[in-house]
Structure 1
Amino acid sequence: MDLVPPERLGLCPQRLRRIEGWAERLVAEGKLPGLTTMVARRGRVAHLHSTGLAEIASGTPMRPETIFRIYSMTKPLTSLAILMLYEEGGFQLDDPITRFLPDFANMRVCTGGARGRLETVPARRDITFRDLLTHTSGLTYGFMQATLVDALYRERGVDFQTAESSLAAVVAEAARLPLIAQPGEAWNYSIATDVLGHLVAVISGEPFEVFLRRRVIEPLGMVDTDFHVPPEKHHRLAANYAHGPDGLAVIDAPAGSRYLRPRAVCSGGGGLVSTVADYWRFCQLMLNKGALEGTRLLGRKTVALMTANHLNGDMAAMGQARWSESTAEGIGFGLGFSVMLDPARAQILGTPGEYAWGGAASTAFWIDPAEEMAVILMTQLTPSSTWPIRRELRVLSYQAVID
C-alpha cells in the first residue's frame, strides 16, 4: 500500500499521528502485544502504522504484512458471497431457508425450563435469508453462555471453530435445537453467518471455501486471506493472547496453531485469516459500490441494500441494549454489518450510514461512504471487549478529518 500525504486527502498529519502515540502507549502499558492501524480516504492510504510484537516469546515484530485471525470480520465476506448468489436469482431475501435446508422446518422456540427439560413453543414462521443476514433468526452462539439453548450448543458441539466433522453436519445439528427467539423478532448474535456459508455451498453446488476463494478472495487479489496459513507464510502468523493474572498470556501460539493446516469445517462466521492490505481491498470494493480495479462482484443497488438498516429501529430496540464495548442505541444492522443511524444516540463520533464490524481477537474495521473513508485495526487479544480500543480509534481517526 503506497502512502499519500494526509493533507492531500483532507486529513491533518499532526492529528493523524495521535494514532501512533495511542498505539505505542497500549503496547508500552502491556495492554496489547502489538497492533497495526490503517486509515484511508478517497481510495488512498494516509496512515499505516505497526508497533509492538506479533509474538512476544520469539520477539517477532508486528509488521504490516503480519497475518491475523480475523474471526467475525469473516462475516462480511460471507454475506457478500451469498448476495452474489442473490443477484444471480438464487433466492429472494424473504424466502424461507427451508427451501434449501429442510432440516430447519418446524423449528421450536425455547421459552424457559431447566437443563433437563426445556419449555418450547412452535416457531411462528420459518427463518428467512434476511433473518440470517441481520442476526434476527433466533439462532445463538454457545459461547454466549446466556441461555439454556447456548448450553445445548456447547453440549452438542455446535461450534464451527472447533468442529472436525463437516459444515453440513454442524448446521444439521444446530437445526435440531430450539431457537432462543421467534424469527425476526429480536437481534441475537449467532451462528447465522455459518448457516449462510453452508447455503452458499448448497445453492452454488461447490464447497463454501472453494466458492469464497474462487468468486471473492481471488478476484479481489486478497493474496493472504484464507481459512489456513500455507507453510511458506507460517512465520507471518501472529500469536493470539488473553489477559491473565500476570499480564498477556498466549492462547494460540503460531507454532502449534490450528490455522497452520486446512480445516475440516470452514467457518463463514469466523474462520478466515487475513492482513491489513487484503482487508483494505475488500473495504475499497465496498466504497466503490461493488467494484475494484475493473472487477465487479456486486451491483451498486445491492451494495446500497446491504449497507442499509434492516432492523425495526436500532439494535437496542431489538433487545440488544449493549454490544461489545459500546451502547447499541443509535446503531442498526444491515445485511452483514452494523450500520450507524445516529452518532449522538450511540455516543461516539461517526456518520449516519457508516457500516462496520469486528472480530473476537479485537480486530475491527469501519467504512464511511460519506467521508470516503475506511479504517482498519488489527491485533490479537481475546476477548474483543477487554479494552475499549475500537471506540478510542474511532475518535482518533475522525478527529483528523479537516475538510
Structure 2
Amino acid sequence: MAQGFDTERLNRINDWMQAYVDARKYPGSSVLIHRHGQEVHFHACGNRNVEAGLPFARDTVVRIYSMTKPITTVAAMMLAERGLFHLDAPVSDFIPSFADCRALIPGATRIDQTEPCETPTLHQLMTHTSGLSYPFNPGVLPAAMDEQDLLFKPHQGVLADMVEQVAALPLAFGPGTRWEYSVGIDILGRVVEIVSGKSLADFFDAEILGPLGMTETAFSVPAGARDRFAALYTPLAGDAMVLNAAREGGDTLRLTDAPEKSPFLAATMFSGGGGLVGTIDDYMKFAEMLRRGGDCDGGRLLSPRTLDFMMRNHLPGDIASMGPQSFAEQPMEGVGFGLGGAVLLDPGRMRTPGSVGDFSWGGMASTFFWVDRALDMTVVFFTQLAPSSSYPARSQLKALVHGALVE
C-alpha cells in the first residue's frame, strides 16, 4: 500500500502502457502519480525515438501542445488578481483590431456571409465560447483559417502578427452562443503580453516557470535538453494536425516531427494555446500547484479562492449542451469547462471513473493530466502521438488509476 493505492494494482498501469508500445500504438510513454503531495507511482516504457532506439525516460522532453492552455490561463488570472483587467472586458480593449466584430450568419457557406456581433470577452476566450475556432475543426471559418495556416506553429513568425490575421476573419458564431475549441487562449496570451509589457515567454519564466522550478519547460527546447527531445509520430497517412482530411492506413508510427529538425528547437511564436515543451516532473509541479490552491515552494502564484473559481464549471451546463461542432481533447457529455481546462460534472454521463470537480486537459500529442482535489491526487501522462483522438487512452488510464485506489 502507498497513499491508499494497491501497489499490485498500480502495476497494471505498467502492463497497459507496454501493451500500447507492443501494438505500435504509442512509441513510448510515461506516467507520474502523486497523492497527498507524495509520489506514488512512476513508470516509463518504449522509445522517445523509435528510429534511434532511444528510451522514453523520466527526463524526456515532449511537446505538451494544449497542456500549455492552463498555464496561459493561470498567467491571465495572475494579472486579474492584480486588478489589471476584469473577465468581462472585451478583447478589443487590448487588441483594437477585434472591435466591430462580425460573425458568420447561421448556415453560412461562404466566409463573407456575416452579420455584426458583440466582441468576445476575456472570459469567453478562456472558456472556448468566443466564436473563434481552429483550422482542424469542421466549418467555414476553420476552412479559411486552414487556408491561411493560422495554427500558431513555433516557426510561424511572432504572436502579435498572427493575432492580427485571426482578428481579420469573422467569428464562427456570436460570442457566448456555442462552445467550440479554438485559438482563444492564443489570443489570451497576446493580452498577457500587452497588459504585462513582457513577451509571453518572459512572463512565464519570471512569474510561473521560475517560481515553480520548471527549468526544462519553455517554448524552445532548452539547449541542454536537445539530446532528450522526443520524436513525434502519427498513425495518419496525411498531416497529423489536419483532422478534417485524416486518412488512416500505412505505418501506425509514422515520424512526423524529427527531434533534430523540429521547429520547437528555435521557436519564434510564443503560442499560449499550444507552444510549450517540457518534462513530466516539470508539469507535475504545475499540476501540484493547482492541487495546492495556488501555492508552490517558490511562493504563491494565485489565491486558493481564485483557483476554486477557475476550477468550477463556467458553462450553463455541460459542453455537449452547447452544440459543439469541433474537435476537443476531452469527452463532452457530463463535462463542463472552467478557465483553461475541463471540469467533471457527472462521471456517469462521462462514462469514466472520476470525482466531481476533476480539473483536466490534454494535448494534441496524446499527453494528459488531471487534478482530483476530492482525492488529493494529481496524474500526468506523457507520450508523443498526434492526434490525441487516435486511441481511448485517457479514459483507460483513469479507470486504471481509480481501480488501483482502494482507500
Same fold flag (TM > 0.5): yes
Give unpaired runs (5+ residues) of structure 1: 1-6
Q: Deviations over 1:309-357 (max 9, x none)?
A: 0001000111138865764111000010100001011111011011100
CA distance in 1, matches of 2:183, 2:358: 24
Secondary structure in 1 aligned to 2:113? strand
CA distance in 2, matches of 1:296, 1:67: 26
CA distance in 2, matches of 1:305, 1:222: 24
Q: Which residue of 2 aligns with 1:3?
A: none
CA distance in 2, matches of 1:339, 1:114: 34
Q: Which residue of 1 aligns with 2:202?
A: 210
Higher mean alpha-carbon deviation, 291-300 vs 378-387, is at 291-300
Which residues in structure 2 correspond to 1:135-214 (within 5 Å)? Answer: 135-144=128-137, 146-161=138-153, 164-214=156-206
Which residues in structure 2 correspond to 1:13-32 (within 5 Å)? Answer: 13-32=7-26
CA distance in 1, matches of 2:180, 2:108: 20
The alpha-carbon deviation at position 294 of structure 1 amounts to 5.0
Secondary structure in 1 aligned to 2:136? helix
Q: Contact (CA 8 Å) 1:201, 1:208: kept in 2 or not?
A: yes
CA distance in 2, matches of 1:227, 1:366: 22
Secondary structure in 1 aligned to 2:364? coil
The alpha-carbon deviation at position 172 of structure 1 amounts to 1.0
Q: Given the superposition, is the C-alpha separation of residues 237 and 294 from structure 1 closer, same or farther in structure 2, using an over 3 Å criterion?
A: closer
Q: Deviations over 1:75-128 (max 9, x none)?
A: 00000001000000011111112111111111111124444x6311111x2211
1:279 aligns with 2:283: yes
Q: Given the superposition, is the C-alpha separation of residues 77 and 375 from structure 1 closer, same or farther in structure 2, using an over 3 Å criterion?
A: same
Secondary structure in 2 aligned to 1:180? coil
CA distance in 1, matches of 2:278, 2:41: 19
Q: Contact (CA 8 Å) 1:316, 1:322: kept in 2 or not?
A: no
CA distance in 1, matches of 2:378, 2:281: 12
Q: Deviations over 1:253-288 (max 9, x none)?
A: 111111112x22110000000111000000110111
Q: Which residue of 2 aligns with 1:106?
A: 100
CA distance in 2, matches of 1:207, 1:136: 25
Q: Given the superposition, is the C-alpha separation of residues 230 and 326 from structure 1 closer, same or farther in structure 2, using an over 3 Å criterion?
A: closer
Of 373, 387, 395, which aligns to 1:369? 373
Q: Which residue of 1 aligns with 2:122?
A: 129
TM-score (normalised: structure 1)? 0.95
Letter in 1 for 2:251: D
Of 65, 79, 85, which aligns to 1:91? 85
CA distance in 1, matches of 2:254, 2:395: 24
TM-score (normalised: structure 2)? 0.94
CA distance in 1, matches of 2:328, 2:394: 10
Secondary structure in 2 aligned to 1:399? helix
Q: Which residue of 1 aligns with 2:342?
A: 338
CA distance in 1, matches of 2:46, 2:211: 32
CA distance in 2, matches of 1:322, 1:191: 12
Higher mean alpha-carbon deviation, 105-114 vs 384-393, is at 105-114
Which residues in structure 2 correspond to 1:311-326 (within 5 Å)? Answer: 311-320=315-324, 324=328
Q: Given the superposition, is the C-alpha separation of residues 324 and 193 from structure 1 closer, same or farther in structure 2, using an over 3 Å criterion?
A: closer
Q: Contact (CA 8 Å) 1:108, 1:120: kept in 2 or not?
A: yes
Which runs of at least 4 in structure 1 moved beyond 4 Å after TM superposition?
A: 321-326
Q: Which residue of 2 aligns with 1:4?
A: none
Total equivalences in the alignment: 393
CA distance in 2, matches of 1:314, 1:23: 30
Give unpaired runs (5+ residues) of structure 2: 238-249
CA distance in 1, matches of 2:188, 2:374: 29
Letter in 1 for 2:323: G
Q: Contact (CA 8 Å) 1:95, 1:128: kept in 2 or not?
A: yes
The alpha-carbon deviation at position 163 of structure 1 amounts to 5.3
Q: Which residue of 1 aligns with 2:255?
A: 250
RMSD: 1.4
Secondary structure in 2 aligned to 1:40? strand
CA distance in 2, matches of 1:101, 1:151: 24
The alpha-carbon deviation at position 293 of structure 1 amounts to 1.6
Q: Given the superposition, is the C-alpha separation of residues 162 and 281 from structure 1 closer, same or farther in structure 2, using an over 3 Å criterion?
A: closer
Q: Given the superposition, is the C-alpha separation of residues 181 and 174 from structure 1 closer, same or farther in structure 2, using an over 3 Å criterion?
A: same
Secondary structure in 1 aligned to 2:221? coil
Q: Contact (CA 8 Å) 1:24, 1:52: kept in 2 or not?
A: yes
CA distance in 1, matches of 2:330, 2:87: 29
Secondary structure in 1 aligned to 2:339? coil
CA distance in 1, matches of 2:81, 2:184: 20
Q: Contact (CA 8 Å) 1:315, 1:331: kept in 2 or not?
A: yes
Q: Which residue of 1 aligns with 2:244?
A: none
CA distance in 1, matches of 2:59, 2:371: 21
Letter in 1 for 2:172: I
1:71 aligns with 2:76: no
The alpha-carbon deviation at position 38 of structure 1 amounts to 1.2
Secondary structure in 2 aligned to 1:350? coil
1:80 aligns with 2:63: no
Which residues in structure 2 correspond to 1:378-389 (within 5 Å)? Answer: 378-389=382-393
Letter in 2 for 1:171: V
CA distance in 2, matches of 1:85, 1:352: 28
Secondary structure in 2 aligned to 1:375? strand
The alpha-carbon deviation at position 159 of structure 1 amounts to 2.1
Secondary structure in 1 aligned to 2:336? strand
Letter in 1 for 2:49: E
Letter in 2 for 1:63: A
CA distance in 2, matches of 1:142, 1:31: 25
The alpha-carbon deviation at position 231 of structure 1 amounts to 2.8
